[in-house]
Amino acid sequence: MPRILVIDDDPAISELVAVNLEMAGYDVSQAEDGIKGQALALQLQPDLIMLDLMLPRVDGFTVCQRLRRDERTAEIPVLMLTALSQTQDKVEGFNAGADDYLTKPFEVEEMLARVRALLRRTDRIPQAAKHSEILNYGPLTLVPERFEAIWFSETVKLTHLEFELLHCLLQRHGQTVSPSEILREVWGYDPDDDIETIRVHIRHLRTKLEPDPRHPRYIKTVYGAGYCLELPSLPASAEGASA
């Protein structure tokens, strides 16, 4: 039974979330502030953390950053719950290490869909390793067992989301992949034009793979259409590896 830790200072919201998660078959623990939440995350090692941003004592952004810096919790998926809906808040949440973002008020079915999608990616071997799919082209080789990319002979460590996103683009190398297709395949739910979610993670990938992330050569934006991974067929040199 997957264990989920809910960190939220609103008793009504926390209880609503917990009850519905338990009815869906999850083992749920709760914390009402950032310090208790971080302590429980270290103690319980849950399969997923649902984290409110506006918490007493320590805010959710800080808690998420701390969890990501600790190797014991670094790879636990984090679903942020918040009443904030501004684009900048979402960007800050993703930059802090969140995997997904759910704005209050939300429908229970939407919450459960996001939870299922995040738990799907917690498998030690990601979706890419479960099928006979493309794992290498030219200078890029994906290593599913370690969530790594071999990029121009350099090893690049990826987060689960970055790995799945790069894998999604690699399957359609040279083709433009629409945001809705990326959200369905990588995040696992039907999208609602949540372009900023993709944009932040594309930026993280470019930082790791592009020689100049501000002027990408390989992970290209096709304005109004989506993203396209364009790689040379043969790795002529290691100049593409990030420093």
pTM over 0.85: no
> Do 170 and 97 have their domain in common?
no
pLDDT at residue 124 above 80? no
At 78-99, the pLDDT tens digits run: 999 887 766 677 778 888 888 8
> Do 26 and 95 have their domain in common?
yes
| Residue 241 counted as domain residue | no
Identify the CA nearest to 117 among candidates 133, 101, 106.
Answer: 101
pLDDT at residue 22 above 70? yes
pLDDT at residue 162, as a whole number: 87
Last residue of a domain, one of 73, 92, 123: 123
Angle 92-86-218 (CA atoms, 0-180°, nearest 5)?
A: 55
> Do 155 and 197 have their domain in common?
yes
Average pLDDT, the chain: 84
pLDDT at residue 234, as a whole number: 63
Q: How far apart are CA 134 and CA 239, in angstroms?
A: 23
Neighbour count for residue 19 (Cβ, 10 Å)? 12
Which amino acid is present at 198? I
Q: How far apart are CA 15 and CA 5, in angstroms?
A: 12
Quote the domain boundaries for residue 69: 3-123
